[in-house]
Structure 1
Amino acid sequence: MHEPTGWQPRPTQKWLILLLVFVAGLGVVTNRLMTTASETTRPDAPPESIPWQGGGMLALASSDKIVYISGEVHQPGVYTMPPDARVHDVVVAAQGLTDHADREQINLAAHIEDAEHIHIPRLEEPPPLVVSIAGEVHRPDVYRMPPGARVYDVVVAAQGLTDHADSAQVNLAAPVEDAQHLFIPRCGDPTQPEAPAPIAIQASDTPPAPIAIQVSDTPPALDRGIPPASLATVVNLNAATAAELETLEGIGTVLSERIIDYRTTHGAFASVEELQNIRGISPAMVETLRQYLTVGHE
């Protein structure tokens, strides 16, 4: 056998050489990773992906625009849009406008900008209508009604007509107005106006007799079959029966019972104005009835 010629490393030297090669390679890899991380975190470097609320990462093109839309859309949130997108495209991505969106305040054709916040305003709703109703309904009172309400809607809010209501004299389909007074007459009563205006009638030179009781030549109670003797004097709030109270304009079965109940619970009336404490009797009604009432004791 021939003996090997030249230098031959010992086993320990072989391991040392391999270790040096490994360390050198590790240094190259580490340097490359640090360089890549530095390039990724540069402020001027556009992101290639962003976290998404659905999980995972969302890849972005360098020219895509990220916008936030809020307000009256079905799905407000952050959306990634193409460079040529308009406000309309963002609204479509957000599942469209709600029924309350104010479309007149939105320019759907406008271009969007990156990082833009688009807010869709809410349509301002008109104020409610405040309407009073008296007469033959179960709950005479003042009610707040939505715009566009009809007389029927107010009657429903007042728990409906009583059995004595003369519905033939009431146009339930008529629209109501703010500050309107509705009066539901009793069967057999003369036709009553839906919205009497006592102050204006008193100032009128020729008020119509069916509306203005105070200028009528014949008190309406006579037409209802009530003996004239019952109207010889004004009605005493502290002594009148339900039948006597019902001779007054706008006072039906429900209100006459409430007046008597109030008198029983709180004692004698101190003044005519105290009628305003009874639900269903408005200040305007008190002014209309004032000259026919007294609080004199028995």
Structure 2
Amino acid sequence: MKRALLFLLFVFCLCFAYWNRYQPVSLDLVAPTIKKAEIKGEVNKPGIYSIKWEATIQDLIEEAGGLTEEADVQNLTLLENVEPDSTIMIPSSKETAHLISINSASKEELCRLHRIGPAMADRIIAYRQEKPFSTLEEIMNVKGIGPKLFEAIKNQISL
């Protein structure tokens, strides 16, 4: 009987010592600190880089050794945060030299686009005077420009 009481006392002390000692940790609250992103085009060392979670496109460019002399970052927002597992393409100034800006092109320049005539150019100009284009896809809001026409001109236009 004495042994049984000692055993129960030991078990009680053991349980009391470990009671509320360990608390589960929720892994949902742990935020990642790094992410991977790929950078291509006119940078000195294109590739996939591990960057800080709050890194911007400028930080990714610096990680890739900086820009080449032919880089054109006019249409990039360098302070924009890089999305995880995204690809950033730095275009060449040679590639963008022939692109027509839908936010600043004249009527004659817009008429050089495939299947864009004077009437359509006037509609594009009228639309951008109300609100400048923020994305290339927004040009499909102009009456008469649908997905097929956008596909035909998207490689000829820039913001």
Under a length normalisation based on structure 1, what TM-score does the superposition of the two structures give?
Answer: 0.26
Q: Which has the higher helix share?
A: 2
Higher-RCO chain (CA-CA 8 Å, sequence separation at least 6):
2
TM-score (norm 2): 0.44
CA radius of gyration, larger in: 1
